Amino acid sequence: MDGERAGRLIVNRAGDQIIIVDIALLPEFRRIGVGSGLVRRLLEQADAGHLRVRCHVLHDSTARRFWEHAGFAAQGRDGVYVAMERAPQTRAP
């Protein structure tokens, strides 16, 4: 951000989906819109390509609300993680 490292976003673009492998921000860049901006741009790319977006989040993590607010829905639980998915969104003409 402004030439300073703020964290990382690791994605896997695999076929008809985008998998968010990891997103991590340094403490000073949290809760100021950096993460939501990155995710919003990724979701715009996914919508343009008609791609699903998937991620995993700890089942008791407060981050789960972030993903739900971004349009993700729980798809199942595997141990301590919840699989989250967002279908591509279409815009009205």
- Predicted confidence at residue 93, as pLDDT, reads 59
What mean pLDDT comes out for the span 48-59? 95
E strands, 15-72, are 17-25, 52-58
Q: In the predicted model, is pLDDT for residue 92 greater than 70?
A: no
| pTM as predicted | 0.87
Q: Which domains does the chain have, with CATH numbers?
A: 7-86 (3.40.630.30)
- Predicted confidence at residue 2, as pLDDT, reads 82
Helix (H) or strand (E) holding 41, with range, is: helix 34-48
Contact 20, 55 (CB under 8 A): yes
* Collapsed DSSP state (helix, strand, coil) of residue 21: strand
Percent of the residues in the chain that have a pLDDT greater than 90, as a whole number? 77
Beta bridge partners of 82: 57, 77
Mean pLDDT of the chain: 92
E strands, the chain, are 7-14, 17-25, 52-58, 73-78, 81-86
Residues 6+ apart with CB under 8 A from 31: none
Q: In the predicted model, is pLDDT for residue 90 greater than 90?
A: no
